[in-house]
Structure 1
Amino acid sequence: MRQASWNEMFAPKREPLVLTPDVPREPAGWRRVFWWEDVLSFLLLSAMVLAVVDSVYRAGWVDEMPSLYPLAFFGMLMAAMLARVRWPEALLHLLALPVGAAASLATILSIVPGATPWARYGELQDRMGAWFNVAFNGGISNDELPFVVLVVPLAWIAAYLSSWAVFRWQNVWLALIPAGFLLLSNVSYFSDQFSFSVLVFLLAGALLVTRLHLMSRSKTWREQDTPYPPFLSLSVLHITFWLAIVLMLAAWMMPQAGESGPLASAWEGATSPIAERATGLSRLFVSVRGPQSASVHRFDDIVPFQGPIELPDTLALEALTQPLDQRAYLRAQSFEIYTPTGWQQASRRDLALEADEITRVDDLVDGRATTSVWITSDGKTGDTMFTIGQPRRVDRPATIQWTISLEDVAGIQATNGLSEGSTYQATGSVSVATVEELRASASVPSSIPDGIPPTFSNASWAYSSALLSRYTQLPETLPTRILQLAVDLTENERAVYDKALRIEDYLRTFPIDFDIPVTPRDRDTIDYFLFDLQRGYFDYHASAMVVMLRTMGIPSRLAVGYVLQPAEREPGSNLYRVTEQSAFAWPEVYFPGYGWVEFNPTPSQPRIQRFEPVAVTIGDDEDGEDVVGSLGLENLPGQIGAGGEAGALPFGGDSSGNRNLWILAGIATGIAAMAFFGAGWGRYLWIRGLGDAPPAARRWEQTLRLASWSGNAPDPAQTPREYASSLRQRVRGVDDVELLADDYVKQRFGQKSDHPTDTQSDEAWEQVRNGLLRKLLRLR
C-alpha cells in the first residue's frame, strides 16, 4: 500500500482543466462559395436532379434528344453561385434568364442540321414556323424538334429552381417534390428503366433532406453561440446513408410500374384529368413515343403516320361473338380528312341514344346483315365502343358521332364512360352484297363530258355531292403521280368494285414491316410509301388505298380498330382475348345502294370473302320461292321435275321418225327410271331413323341433313344453338333455324314427353327447308 508524502498532503490544490468547445463559423467572402458543407450539399443535389434527367433522357421520347446533363448541371451551378449574392432575387433572375436561354439555344442547335450556326438557326426558325402553322391552323406535325425545344429549356429551368430552392430558400421540398413527380410520371410510362434512376433519386433525396434539416439547426446553434462538433454533419450523413440503403432495398423489391394494380389505378386516377386535357395536343407531337404498352391507335381525333412501331401483347378487350365464318373487324371509328402526315376527323355532330335504340345506318341501303358482339373493356380504349361493322345498336346509353347525315355514323361513345371490366353488347351492320351486286352498283361511263376534270372519275356521278365533298378530300400538294399510278392500275376496269379490287391486289404485294423510317419532312407519306418505301403496315396500306381511290373520285375513308384473330380465340369457345397485337386499319369504300364496304389491302390478314354470284338460276323467280314451293318435298327431297306438262314433239310418219320416237322414248324411260330410283333412295335417306322420332327431333334432324348436303355440315363440338346461329350467318333465308334448335333442345334435354307440332314451328321449318333447298340446288 502506497503512503502519501508530506508534499502531496500540504501542496496547494490545483484548478480542474476545463476545455471550452468552439462554435463552428461559416467562412466569409469568396471562401463561402467553396465551403465544404455547401459543396457536399451541391453534390447530393446534383445526384438527385441528374437522376431525373437521366430517366428522361434514357426514356427515348424522341430520337433527336440532345444530352441534357451539361445543361442541367450548369443550371444548378449558376443558381448555387447566385444564391450567395445578396442582391434582390428578381434582379438575379433577370441576369440568369438570358444566360440560360443562350445555353438552351446552343444545346438545341447541336442537333439541328446545318454547316454554320446561322444555317442551323435558320433551319430552326423554318421548322418552328411550320409547327406553329399546324398548331393554329390545324393539321398534324411529326417533327421531333418542337418537343426538343420544349424540353431543353424546361430542363434548365427545373435544375436552376431546384438549386435556388436549396441554397437560397433552404427548402429542400421545393426541389424534391417537383423532381419526384416528374420522375414518377416518366417511370410510369417506361417501366423497364425503373431501377437505377429511382434508386439514386431516393438515396440522394433522403441524404439531402436530412442534411438540409441539420444545416438549418446548425445555423440556429451558431446564432445562439451553441457549440457542436465541427464534423457532426458527416456523422449524421453516415447514419442516414445506411438508413437510405434500407429504403433503396425496399424500393427495389416494390412492384414496377404497371405490376401493382392498386398503385397503378391510383396513379391513373390522379393523372387521367391531365391526360384527357392533353389529348388534343397529341396531333402536335406525333413523333413523341408513348408508353411501351400504349395503344397503336389512341382512338382520339387523329391517326398519325408514326413510322416504326411495336405491337405489345397487352390486353385491350375481350370479345364474345357469334360463330364467325371469317375474321371480323372490331370497328372503333373512321377518319375523313387526309393530310401528308396522317388522318384527322372532320367536323361532327353528336346524337344521344337510349339503350338498345337502333341507328339509321341501314335505312337507305340493302344487302347488309347484323352481327352482335359482347365486349368487356380493359379500360385502355377510353369510352370508345366497338362494333363489327357500322354501328347499329348498343345495350347502354351512348352517343353517336355522325357526319353528313344520321345514316353516316363515324363512331360511338359510351355516355357514362367505360372502366376496366365494363361489359356491353354491340350490334353492327356488315355488307353481304354479292360481287355482282357491288360490281353493278357504280361504274365509269365510256366517255367523259366536256368540263369534267380528268382527275375526277365519272364514277362520281353515282354519288351525292355531300358524299363526294366529304370523302374525296385530298390536299392540294398531293403528288400527281399517285393519281397516275391509280389510273394505270385500273385503266381496264369500269366498275368501281373492280378498280378497288385492282388497287387492293397491288398493295397486298407490299410486305409488312413495322420498323420503317418516319416520312422525311416536306414529303407526302403515301407518296413516300408507294414510290420509296414500298413496305409498311396496316396504317400505310389502308391509307394508300383510300388516297388512290379518292384521286379517281371514289368516296372512301379510313377505319381503325382491331381484328379478331384465331390465335387470340379461347379454345372451345367464341371468346377472343384481343391484345394490341391485333390493332388494325382498313379502308371503307362507299357503294350506292349498299353503303360502306370493307376492303383489306394489308397482306398480314386474309382477304375479305364476298358472296360470289350464283351460277344456276332456279325458275323465273329470283329467290326461287315458286320453284321450291312447287316441289312439295316435305318428306322427300330431290324429286325435281317429276310433274309438269310436256311440250309437243314433232313426230313424223316415216320410219326414221318412228326410229327417233323409239330413241326418245328409251331416253325418257331411262330418265324416268333414274328419277324413280333417285326418288326412292332420297326418300330412304330423308326418313331413315326418323320413324318414331318426335316432331321437334325430326325437323331438326332433317335440317341437319339438308344443311350437310348443301355443304354446311355441323361441327361436332357445336351445340344445337351454336350451330343454328352459325348456319343463319352462312345461309340466307334460314332466319328461323334457331327456333327449330330451341324446340329440339327442349324436347331432347327437357321434358321427355312428346311435343306436338305447332303452327309456329311448322312455318319455321318450311322457311328453313326452302332456304336450304335453294342453297343445295345452287351448289349442285
Structure 2
Amino acid sequence: MNLLQKLRPAEGWFSLALLFLLLMITTMSLQAAEWADGMSVLSSVTIMGIIVGWLFAKSRYVGFFLHPFAIILGIMWIGYSALPLTGISGSWVDQVSALILRPLIWLFDIQAGNVNGDTLPFVLLMGGLMWLISYGAIWDFFRARHIWGVLIPSALTVLINTYYAREDLIILLVLYVLVAFLLIVLSNLLDNQQRWRREEISYSRDIQVDFLRDGALLALFVIGMAWLMPATIDHAAVNPTLTRLTSPWGRAQQEWNRFFGTLNYRATGSGAYFDESLTFSGNLVRGEELVMYVRADAGRYWRVLVRDLYTGAGWTLSDDEIVAGPAAEQPIEGDTPVVDRGRIAVDQRYTIFRPAGTQLIAAGEPLMATVDLRLRRDVAPATEGGVEPIQLFARNPLFQGQSYRVTSAMPNVDEEMLRAAGTDYPVDLLEHYTDLPESLSPRVGELATSVTGGAETPYDQAKKIEAYLRTFPYNEGIAGPQPGEDGVEYFLFREKEGYCDYYASAMAVMLRTLGVPARIASGYSQGSLMENGSYEVRQRNAHTWVEVYFPELGWIEFEPTAAEQTLDRPLSLQGQFGPDSSEEGLSSALNDNDEMLSEMEDLRGDAGLENDGATDQPGQRDLFAWVPTMNWRALVPYLSAVVGLALLGVIGWAALQQRWRGLGLVEKLYDQLRLFGRALGQKADPSLTPHEYASKVGAQVPPAASTLSHVADLFTRQRFSTTPTLDPEEEAAMSEEWITARKQLMRRLAQRIAPLPSPADEIDSDDEAWQRPR
C-alpha cells in the first residue's frame, strides 16, 4: 500500500476537496477586501494549515498532544511567510527582529491608549486566524466529525468581512453558502452511510450524487429567497430594541478601530459612527447614503465629537469617561452662560436616517436637548467648575427616522473681537491644548513660525496658517504615512496633499507649536440646502475641522481644507444670525419647537416616500452601483443558477470518477448503461441478466439497442469467461461505438425531461380543437 492510499481519508477525496474549497473561499474573501498590504500571505498559511490538519487528523496520537505542536508550527510558518512584509532587505536576523519588535511597539502603544498605524500586526493576526480556522476545520471534519466546528468560525469570518469590506464581495459569500450547504449534506450522508454499514443496510453506490445535487438545489433556492427578502426591519418600535442589543458590539467596534485605524475600511453604510480615535490612513472612501436632515437658523458644521490628544499617528481623547447628563429639556448643569461670550442661542432640529447608536449631533457648544443625555466633558474647561461637553449621547439608542432638537451656543463674533481677545488663557486649558508629543520634529514649529511671520495676534496667526494650508491640493487617494511616521510631517513635508483629517491636524499642531490652544472636531459639514430651508446631509459631508480657543469668546471654528468653502468672519455682526443675542433669545429658541416639530415630522414622512434613490431607502444596499444603467440585482438569481449548475457539473464529474476508480472499460460502460437506464425509468432488477436489462433499455432507445446489447455481451464475457480481457483493437472499437450510442441515449433522456410533441400529436390536437363544439 503506497503513501497516498494510506493518507486517503475514509470520507473520500471529494470531501477533502470540498473542504479545501470552503477554506480557500474564506481566505480569498479576506484578501479581496484589501484591508492592508501583505494579505497575500494568507493563502500559504491556509494551505499549510490544511496540510498539517490533515496529517494530524490521520495520526494515531490524541489532540491533547498534537494541538500545541500545531500552534507552534503555525507561529513559525506565519512568521516565515511574513518576513518579506518587514521591508528589510538585510539578513534574516534583522527581518526576524523587525517582525518581533513591530508588533511589540504596536502593543505598547495600544496599552498606553495611543494609536499606531502599523498594519503588520493586523496581517499577523489574520494569519493566525486563518491557521486556526483551517487546521481546526480539517481536524473537526476528519477526526472529530463535527461539521459545525468546521463551519461556524469560517462563516463568521466571511460574514463580518463581507459586511465591513469596502469592496463588493457578495459573489464570494454566495459561493461560500453554496459550498457550506454541500458540506452539511455530505457530512450528514457520511454519518448515515457509516450507520448503514454498521447495521448492514444496503444503499445505492451513486447515492452521494443524488444527495449533493439536491443539496445544491436547496442552497440555490435559499440564496435566491434571501436575496429577495428585505434586508432589515424598519419598524420604529423594533429598531430601538435591536440597536440597544447591538450597543456592546458598537463599543467593540470602537476599540477595534483604535487598534487598527489605518485599515481600508468601507464607507459606513448602516450608521454614521465616529470613533474616539482618528488614525492617519490612506485612501478615503465616503458613501452617498443619506445621514440626516437638519433644520437650523445658523450653523456651518454639525459636530459629533472633539479630539484633544495628538499622538503623531492620529488623535484620540485624553479622557473617554462618559457621565450622566440632564434629562430632556433641561439645561446642562454648570455649563457656561451664552451671553457675554460672543455667542448666541441657536436651535437645531435633526431627523436621523443613519443612526449611530446613542451618538448625538449638535452644532457649537450644546446647552440642552429634547432627549435624556449622557456626555463627555472637556478635561480642561475654560471656566473653573464648568461642564463643557465635547460629545453628547442619548441615554437610549436612536432609531431610523427619529427626530430630536438641540439648543447650542454658536459664535457671534467678528474679526475685531477675535483680534482683541488677547492671550490671557486659563492655565490648565493652555497647558492641555498646546501639548504635543516629544517625537514631533522641530521643523513643524519652524514652518509655523515662518508662515505666521508678521502676525500680531493669535487670530492673525490662525488665518495665515489656514490660508497657507489651503494652497495644498485636496486628494482623497493618498497612500498614507509609513508605520512610525508622524502624520502631520507626512502631510506638510512629504505628500503635500491630502484630505480634511490632514488639513485640520496640520493646522491644530502648527498652532500648538506657537502656543495657541487648538483642537480638531469631527462631524459633518453643512450639506445641501433644500427648498424648504432644511439641509440634506449625506455621508460625503463627513468632515474634520479646527477649533481655536479665544479668551472670553470660547472655541471658534476654522476651515483649512482646500475643498471646503472658506470660513470668513463678518466685519459686522448685524444680521449675522436670526435669533436675538440675549437670554430672551435663548428662551425663545427653547420654546418655539411646536411649529418646527410639525414641519420635521412632515419632512420625515416625505423622505420615506420620495427619496431620490434606492440607496436612501432604509434596509437596502446597492451592491452594483458601479453600473447604474443595468439592473444587476435582477440577474443575481440567474448568475447564481449558472454558477450552481457549473458546480453541480464538477461535483457530478468528480463523483463519477470516484465511482469508476479501479474499473475496466467494459465495467465502466455497463455502469453507464445502468445509470442511463435508471434515468429513463428502467430500474435494475437483480433478477435480470445483463442481456435482459440491456434489452429493456434498448427498447426505449432503438437506435442504440445493438450497442447496448454488445456492451452486455462484453460485460458477461468479462465476468464469466475464461478469457475476460479485451485486446486493444476491441477496446478502441467499443469506445467509438459507445460514443455514438451515448449521444442517442442523451437525446432520448432530453426528450423524456422536456418532451416535444410529434406531428401526429399536433394533427390530433388540431382535429380535436376543430371538432370541439363552439
TM-score > 0.5, shorter chain as reference: yes
What corresponds to 1:61 in structure 2? Answer: 35
In structure 2, what is the Cα distance between the partners aligned to 1:734 and 1:71? 69
Check whether the contact 1:395–1:424 (CA below 8 A) recurs between aligned residues: yes
Counterpart CA distance in 1 for 2:508 and 2:271 is 20
CA, structure 1 residues 501+42, in 2 after alignment: closer, same or farther (shift >3 Å)? same
Are residues 309 and 182 of structure 1, via their aligned partners in 2, closer, same or farther at CA, if it must alter by over 3 Å? same
Q: How does 1:214-363 map to 2 (within 5 A)?
A: 214-247=189-222, 249-250=224-225, 253-254=227-228, 272-293=247-268, 298-322=273-297, 324=298, 328-347=300-319, 350-359=323-332, 360-362=335-337
1:304–1:556 CA distance, 2 compared to 1 (3 A): same
Would you say the 8 A contact 1:334–1:410 is kept in 2?
yes
Give the distance between the partners of 2:464 and 2:437, measured in 1 at CA: 24
Q: Measure how far apart 1:728 and its partner are.
A: 3.2
1:436–1:613 CA contact under 8 A, matched in 2: no
Listed as ranges, the matches of 1:690-729 within 5 Å are: 728-729=578-579
Q: Which structure would you say has the larger RCO, counting Cα contacts within 8 Å and 6 or more residues apart?
A: 2
Q: 1:183 to 1:468 in 2, by over 3 A?
A: same
Residue 516, structure 1, aligned to residue 471, structure 2: no
User: In structure 1, what residue type is equivalent to 2:418?
Assistant: L
Residues 243, 397 of structure 2: 8 Å contact kept: no
Deviation at 1:29, TM superposition (A): 9.2
Match for 1:610: what amino acid? R
Q: How do residues 563-642 of structure 1 correspond to structure 2 at under 5 angstroms?
A: 563-565=525-527, 568-570=528-530, 572-612=531-571
Give how far 1:36 is off: 7.7
Match of 1:411 among 391, 394, 405: 391
Q: Any conservation in 2 of the 1:57–1:67 contact (CA below 8 Å)?
A: no
Structure of larger gyration radius: 1
Name the aligned partner's letter for residue 328 of structure 2: A
Deviation at 1:514, TM superposition (A): 0.7
Kindly provide the CA deviation profile for residues 461-506 of structure 1, in whole angstroms up to 9, marking residues without a partner as x: x112111111111111111111111112223121221111111111
Structure 1 254/191 Cα, relative in aligned 2: closer, same or farther at 3 Å?
A: farther
Counterpart amino acid of 1:347?
Answer: D
Determine if contact 1:561/1:585 at 8 Å carries over to the other structure: yes
Aligned residues: 579
In 1: Cα distance, 2:56 partner to 2:366 partner: 63
Deviations 1:702-728 (A, max 9, x none): xxxxxxxx9x8xxxxxxxxxxxxx973
Q: In 2 relative to 1, CA 75–354 (structure 1 residues): closer, same or farther, beyond 3 Å?
A: same
Output one character per residue of 1:45-74: Cα deviation in whole Å (capped at 9) or x when no partner. Answer: 112222222112111121331242332133
Note the 1:614-763 alignment, pairs <5 A.
Answer: 728-729=578-579
Query: Are the aligned partners of 1:297 and 1:560 in contact in 2 as well (CA < 8 Å)?
Result: no
Whether contact under 8 Å (2:264, 2:283) holds in the other structure is no
User: Using the alignment, how far apart are the partners of 2:355 and 2:67 within structure 1?
Assistant: 44
Structure 1 pair 386–274 and aligned structure 2 pair: CA distance change class (3 A): closer
Paired residue for 1:143, among 110, 114, 118?
118
What residue in structure 1 maps to residue 46 of structure 2?
72
- Per-residue displacement from partner, 1:342-376 (whole Å, max 9, x unpaired)? 11112266352122223423368522112111012
In structure 2, relative to structure 1, the CA distance for the partners of 1:469 and 1:296 (3 Å cut) is farther
Q: Which amino acid aligns with 1:167?
A: F
Per the TM alignment, residue 524 of structure 1 is displaced from its structure 2 partner at its CA by: 1.6
Query: Would you say the 8 A contact 1:295–1:580 is kept in 2?
Result: no
Shift of 1:560: 1.2
* 271 and 83 in structure 1: CA distance in 2 versus 1, 3 angstrom threshold: farther
Give 2:15's aligned residue. Answer: 41
Aligned to 2:186: 211
Q: Give the superposed CA RMSD.
A: 3.3
Matching of residue 532 in structure 1 with residue 494 in structure 2? yes
The corresponding residue for 1:697 is none
Identical pairs, percent: 26
Deviation at 1:228, TM superposition (A): 3.3
- Structure-2 residue corresponding to 1:754: none
User: Could you tell me how far 1:176 is from its partner in structure 2?
Assistant: 1.9
Mapped partners of 2:472, 2:580: distance in 1:
32
SS in 2 for 1:319: strand
Report the AA paired with residue 441 of structure 1: A
Supply the distance in 2 between the matched residues of 1:277 and 1:435 (Cα, whole angstroms).
Answer: 44
Return the alpha-carbon distance in structure 2 between the equivalents of residues 382 and 329 of structure 1: 20
Determine which of 433, 436, 446 is the counterpart of 2:416: 436
Gaps of 5+ in 2: 596-774
Unaligned runs of 5+ in 1: 1-26, 443-458, 615-709, 713-725, 746-780
| Equivalent residues of 2:261, 2:278 under 8 A apart | no
Distance across 1 between alignment mates of 2:143 and 2:475: 55
Quick one: structure 1 residues 192 and 469, their matched pair in 2 at CA, closer, same or farther if it must change by over 3 Å? closer
Question: What SS class does the counterpart of residue 181 from structure 1 fall into?
Answer: helix
Q: 1:340, CA displacement in angstroms?
A: 0.6
Letter in 1 for 2:450: D
How far apart are 1:586 and its partner, in Å? 1.4
Counterpart contact for 1:728–1:734, Cα < 8 Å: no
Amino acid at match of 1:404: A
Instruction: For 1:33 and 1:558, locate their aligned partners in 2 and report how far apart those are by CA, in whole Å.
Output: 62
Q: Return the alpha-carbon distance in structure 2 between the equivalents of residues 95 and 609 of structure 1.
A: 66
Assess, with a 3 A threshold, how the Cα gap between structure 1 residues 569 and 40 changes in structure 2: closer, same or farther.
Answer: same
Distance 1:254 1:194, change over 3 A: farther
TM-score normalised per structure 2:
0.69
1:133–1:243: structure 2 CA closer, same or farther, 3 Å change rule?
closer
CA contact (8 A) 2:262 2:281 kept: yes
Aligned counterpart for 1:424 among listed residues 404, 419, 424:
404
- Contact 1:728 1:735 survives alignment (8 Å): no
Q: CA separation of 1:233/1:295 partners in 2, compared to 1, >3 Å: closer, same or farther?
A: closer
- Counterpart Cα distance in 2 of 1:532 and 1:110: 25
Shift of 1:285: 0.7
CA gap 1:604/1:95 in 2 versus in 1, 3 angstroms: closer
Query: Can you list the C-alpha shifts for 1:174-201, whole angstroms capped at 9, x where unaligned?
Result: 2123322222222222485344322322
- CA 1:599–1:244 in 2, change beyond 3 Å: closer, same or farther? closer
**How far is the alpha carbon of 1:32 from its aligned partner?**
4.6
In structure 2, relative to structure 1, the CA distance for the partners of 1:339 and 1:551 (3 Å cut) is same
For residues 419 and 727 of structure 1, what CA distance do their matches in structure 2 show? 31
**Distance in 2 between residues matched to 1:375 and 1:241, nearest whole Å:** 48
C-alpha displacement at 1:731, in angstroms?
9.8
Aligned position for 1:542 = 504
Cα distance in 2 for partners of 1:432, 1:194 equals 49
8 A Cα contact 1:353 1:400, kept in partner: no
CA deviation after TM superposition for structure 1 residue 211, in Å: 1.9
- Opposite residue 611 of structure 1, the aligned amino acid is P
Q: Distance in 1 between matches of 2:189 and 2:2?
A: 20
Number of the residue aligned with 2:429: 467
- Write out per-residue CA displacement over residues 372-417 of structure 1, whole angstroms, 9 at most, x where no aligned residue: 1101223443322222211122122212322224253312221223
Instruction: Give 2:764's aligned residue.
Output: none
Mapping of 1:477-492 within 5 angstroms? Answer: 477-492=439-454
Shifted more, 499-508 versus 353-362: the winner is 353-362
Matches for 1:87-106 after TM superposition, within 5 Å: 87-106=61-80
CA distance in structure 2 between the aligned counterparts of 1:489 and 1:236, rounded to whole angstroms: 75
